[in-house]
A and B are shown apart, each in its own frame.
Chain A
Amino acid sequence: MQTEPIISLRDLTMEYPGKRVLDGISLDVFRGQIIGYIGPNGAGKSTTLKILLGLIQDYKGTVEIFGNDLRNEDQDVKRRIGYVPENAEIYDTLTPMEYLTFVGELYGMKRAAVEHKAKQLMTELGLEDVLHTRISSFSKGMKQKVLIISSLLHDPDILFLDEPLSGLDANSVMVVKDILAMLAASGKTIFYSSHIMDVVEKISNRIVLLYNGKIAADGSFDELKGQGEAGSLEMLFNQLTGFNEHQQTARRFVELVTGGETDG
């Protein structure tokens, strides 16, 4: 069933002055996959996403989306991509309605159609009464919902998400998780990076672990589990990133807090 890859990275290398962030990454992503892209802070997750989106261009290697080399800058490719950035970066002096119509129109939708769709989507996520309120007064979770809607307005085929669940309450997390699962089932490809291992473990059907600019592990959770003796993704993560002293670190920390009065 897996024929042509939707996203294809070949020897992707990215260097900032004095630091190699990505060191020859090769990866094929296929239709309908939910890729959980994990790794320690600074491993290059966001950099990879930014390259895929065309936000960073001075990379080495090749990146193809829908068989098009990114360097050709095909606007039709962009039209089929949706993106949720990390840290809820948004022009928050606007109202959701104003922002969403702007984004929708940039993606070539008719204004009336965007307005209608935005209103319905906002209503579904419980935001119908803040449609015309400035985003700056929103909580982080509400902002995140607006961004998720803005990434899906134009019905993209690929979705890039950077920590999409941060700030959402437990119920909203469940809704968004189900949305992602259903989108993938309907043939969309989802590529998302996160630190929250429990969620990655539950909703990804393929996990890619980035460590020191290289892919340290790639496969479904079950496959990865077979490789080591870890019982959870969290433990696997620790094992693969060579971090096994969390207990020692924790103990030293607590001793410093209490002035060395722990019993062990």
Chain B
Amino acid sequence: MDNFRSLRVMDVFKGLFQAFGIDYPSMRTIVGLKLTMDERRIPVVFSQTKLKEGNQFLKSLGLYVLYGLATIPFLFFGDSVMLQMGIVFGIAMFMIMTSLIADFSSVLLDVRDRILLAAVPVDDRTLNAAKLVHVSIYMTLIALSLLGIPSIVILVSKGISFFLLFLVMMIFLMLLIIALTAITYMVMLRVFDGERLKDMINYVQILLSVGVFVGYQVLMRSFEFVGLTISYEFSWWHFLIPPLWFAAPFEWLLGGNTSKPLIVLSIAAFIIPIFAIWMYIRKMPLFERDLQKLMSETRGGKQKHAVMMKFWERVLCRNSEERASFRFSWQLMKRERDFKLKVYPSLGIGFVAPFLFLYIFLSDGTWEDMITSNMYFMIYFGFLIIGPLAVMLSYSSKFKGAWIYAVAPITSVSRVKRAALKASLAQLFLPVYLLQAVIFTVFFGWRIVPDLVVVLFSAVLYAVICYAIGAKGTFPFSLPMGESVQSGTAKQIILMLLIGVFVGVHILMSKIPYGTPIYLVVIVVGCLVGWKVLLPIKRKTAYM
């Protein structure tokens, strides 16, 4: 437990901690223990890949190095130091803050501390310091991997004084991020109850995944603007954008621009982080007290009128067993956070991707070209939702509850599975698809409607194939969530290639006369046959 380099670095500041009245040996033990536990945790950025031994966080740092490399072009973007640094600090702030929320919410919001350590003779101040140090260690590591290479580039290209100022500003930026995140949690804890707060964190985690995908695509696009000369002009709303505060000292001290707003922005970069962290330390006991909410049991709550669920249940299900399973699956998917965390990012990507590729097409061609072309086949990118969805359907963080399937007198296993798959499509894929289809119809005109119908039935066929490959004969929600990462990647690639087959056949058929109507018939029949063959309804013969 003692072999953490970060702990030895911390030892350097031993005197400082003790000056604040902190029991240093206890704090060191607590932080060491937490680092040990972290070796058994997987960060969100890594959730799509394999589960391995060791501190997954440290391995995920490689990703941050890559993101960091992407910031280098911005250092030479245009002529304005203010804009260059504003963008770099903006990216750094987004990456660090989202990863702090996504991966370290569990640290900031850890209530086990209270239960396990409250009985031990360690005072609150030490406990809180341990928490702060623990988070800071990781923040420093993220910041180093993200900005290590860019800062060397800065040192080489912009000189030593620029480099030193950059380091100082980074430290202040990190102080601000920690305090801002913690204060955000404090406010959320005041306003929401525990369950709602966990939901909010969940959405931030999902936003992070989508943000990285979209941000990457947009970044690639924006390389085209490099070379444009933009000079910085101040507007009052720049006070609301923290990255610009941190960029201002560069313009002021190194660029020699002594306009008043710039000096005010620069001062904000120093004062506000310090004020925020002081607020955080002062309000910490209050925060800890509110944390208890996360453990408390909430009473009350109303029965939800799930209109969509009731509608689809009536349309899609035939008997009561199927209806029961449909409702059950629908409700579980709505509630289970781990499921959302794995599925919703692909939901966002599946929605954005078709439009992103249209946008890329538009940067080369004209609008008229696009709407008369067959670019509407881009809607197939929406299928990216189905693969992860159908595969994840077999997993649950509460998989042990699956005994109910074996104990209950279920007449047809397939009916339960069909219900789960139908529920997942109706709840998550269909709304996205319908919205995309409407927008595409507006773009491309009525001529594409038959094709859109073909796409819909292809999706239903594709879904059952994905499910058959993913579920391996198990009941829905009956496998441990952690296992899902182990078998994922290869399977997902195969499923993605399968989308290509659907697109290819469809495009070929659209080229021959009457191809589309013929293909529509083929795909509808294929759908019926696919569901019959892959999820056959017969008397139950096997349990699990």
Asked whether, in the complex, the Cβ of A98 is within 8 Å of the Cβ of B327, the reply is yes
Chain B residues with CB under 8 A of A107: 408-409
How many of A's residues come within 8 Å of B, CB to CB?
42
Asked whether, in the complex, the Cβ of A95 is within 8 Å of the Cβ of B407, the reply is no
- Is B256 an interface position by the 8 A CB rule? no
- Is B300 an interface position by the 8 A CB rule? yes
- Is A228 an interface position by the 8 A CB rule? no
- List A residues 79-100 near B (Cβ within 8 Å): 79, 81, 83, 85, 87, 89-95, 97-98
Question: Chain B nearest CB: distance from A89 CB in Å?
Answer: 4
Q: How far is the CA of A92 from the CA of B540 in the complex (A)?
A: 27
Asked whether, in the complex, the Cβ of B299 is within 8 Å of the Cβ of A133, the reply is yes
Chain A residues with CB under 8 A of B409: 75-76, 78-79, 106-108
| Proximity string of chain A (121-163) to chain B, C-beta cutoff 8 Å, 1 when within and 0 when not | 0000000011111101111001000000000000000000000
Instruction: Closest B residue to A55 by CB, please name it.
Output: B406
Asked whether, in the complex, the Cβ of B299 is within 8 Å of the Cβ of A91, the reply is no
- Is A105 an interface position by the 8 A CB rule? yes
- List B residues 284-332 near A (Cβ within 8 Å): 296-304, 320-321, 323-325, 327-328, 331-332
Asked whether, in the complex, the Cβ of A81 is within 8 Å of the Cβ of B335, the reply is no
Chain A residues with CB under 8 A of B299: 129-130, 133
Q: B interface, how many residues as a size bin?
A: 35 or more
Chain B residues with CB under 8 A of A260: none
- Is B396 an interface position by the 8 A CB rule? yes
Q: How far is the CA of A130 from the CA of B408 in the complex (A)?
A: 25
Chain A residues with CB under 8 A of B331: 93-94, 98
Question: Chain B nearest CB: distance from A101 CB in Å?
Answer: 7
Instruction: Closest A residue to B541 by CB, please name it.
Output: A73
Q: How far is the CA of A133 from the CA of B194 in the complex (A)?
A: 13
- Is A244 an interface position by the 8 A CB rule? no
Asked whether, in the complex, the Cβ of A90 is within 8 Å of the Cβ of B401, the reply is yes
- List A residues 2-33 near B (Cβ within 8 Å): none
Asked whether, in the complex, the Cβ of B396 is within 8 Å of the Cβ of A133, the reply is no
Asked whether, in the complex, the Cβ of B406 is within 8 Å of the Cβ of A54, the reply is yes
Asked whether, in the complex, the Cβ of A54 is within 8 Å of the Cβ of B407, the reply is yes
- Is A102 an interface position by the 8 A CB rule? yes
Say yes or no: A106-B408 contact (C-beta < 8 A), given A91-B332, A98-B328, A134-B195: yes
Asked whether, in the complex, the Cβ of B404 is within 8 Å of the Cβ of A103, the reply is yes
Pick from B195, B324, B396, B407: contact of A105, CB below 8 A: B324
Show the binding face of B for A, using Cβ within 8 Å.
Answer: 194-195, 296-304, 320-321, 323-325, 327-328, 331-332, 335-336, 396, 398, 400-401, 403-404, 406-411, 477, 540-541, 543-544
